[in-house]
Structure 1
Amino acid sequence: MQQIPMTAKGAQMLREELNHLKSVKRPQIIQAIAEAREHGDLKENAEYHAAREQQGFCEGRIQDIEAKLSVAQIIDVTKMANNGKVIFGATVALLNLDTESEITYRIVGDDEADIKNNLISVNSPIARGLIGKSLDDVVQIQTPAGVVEYEIIEVEYL
């Protein structure tokens, strides 16, 4: 099985979700099923069927998280010496050379990616164009709007 890169923070968030599902959500669903059963005929018992459906989703998510954590390669960049190189987990500030605007991205695993919070997947075109480059390098990134030139103005291992 291939390992999936994940930041330490991303792995921690998954562990917290897993713990919540197992210790809070699962018991709530079991309780809801028990209460719905007491209402009698299960064939036309909407609460029972809704709770069973919720149980299916919950158990599926638990299995999904456990599978991801079992193949996760957790990378904690805060424990690495910052040599100015863009690596998985790094936070990179870029200067768009056309517009003079700055943007900062953090390169994370697929499950952690959230463009609204400037968390980009290691498999995204921007991250692929940045990995292996260094501070002050100028990179050309293929975007939907065409090729954009960025200068790497800061690399942090946060």
Structure 2
Amino acid sequence: MGEQLTKADVKRIWEEIEKRKLSLRPKLIEAVKEARSHGDLSENFEYYAAKREMNQNESRIAYLERMLRFATIVSDRSERDEVGLNDTVRLLFEEEGEEESYRIVTSIRGHSLSNLISNKSPLGKALLKHRVGDRVTVRPGGGKSYTVKIQGLEKTGELETDRIRSY
């Protein structure tokens, strides 16, 4: 089974593939040709650097196409008062007395340092389908469980500035 993606994730992946194929690929091919024209390839650092960059681009395209081929499309819709994908939740970590906000996203977009929590992470899994006021027990793999209280919920939806990965 592949990644779980929303329709918006799929759209962004296709946009990245298109940009890499139609814009970046021709530039990289030209850079390889230009570097190759400089003579002896055995000592031509520019040629090897250009080839490496072109190969990285082709690998990224293949990775994204493979991801789409095996992906499962999931809905980012949820009830108005329950936590779902792309929603931002304000949590109270009761043991520490600290509040933090997190946005629940698909696993390919998760980035905990930016407070984007994957729906596959222990916290993300535990929060889905719960409501404001609920106390939720989170059980990380091998770690001590902890409880959070859902203080607030914002139905944020998709943001156009979100990106799966910069390129």
TM-score (norm 1): 0.81
Name the CA distance, whole Å, in 2 between partners of 1:8 and 1:152.
27
> How far apart are residue 107 of structure 1 and its match?
1.6
- Judge conservation of contact 2:78–2:85 (CA < 8 Å) in 1: no
- 1:152 corresponding residue in structure 2: 150
Asked if 1:137 is matched to 2:167, the reply is no
Q: Which is worse superposed, 141-150 or 41-50? A: 141-150
Q: Distance in 2 between matches of 1:20 and 1:121?
A: 26
How many residue pairs were aligned?
155
2:100 equivalent in structure 1: 103
Unaligned runs of 5+ in 1: none
Q: Say whether residues 1:53 and 2:52 are aligned partners.
A: yes
Give the Cα–Cα distance (whole angstroms) in 2 for the partners of residues 4 and 115 of structure 1: 18
Q: Which runs of 5+ in 2 are unaligned?
A: 158-167
CA deviation after TM superposition for structure 1 residue 124, in Å? 0.9
Question: Quick check: 2:78–2:84 contact (8 Å CA) kept in 1?
Answer: no
Higher strand share: 1
After TM superposition, list the pairs within 5 Å mapping 1:1-158 onto structure 2.
2-75=1-74, 77=76, 80=77, 82-142=79-139, 146-157=144-155, 158=157
- Aligned identity (percent) is 32
Deviation at 1:145, TM superposition (A): 7.6
CA distance in 2, matches of 1:5, 1:87: 14
Q: Alpha carbons of 1:76 and 1:156: their partners in 2 closer, same or farther (altered >3 Å)?
A: farther
| 2:165 paired residue number | none
Aligned to 2:164: none
- Cα deviation for residue 138 of structure 1 reads 0.5
In 2: Cα distance, 1:46 partner to 1:117 partner: 37
Deviation at 1:139, TM superposition (A): 1.1
Equivalent position of 2:160 in the other structure:
none
State whether residues 138 and 149 of structure 1, in contact with CA within 8 Å, keep that contact through their aligned partners in structure 2: yes
Higher mean C-alpha displacement, 138-147 vs 58-67: 138-147
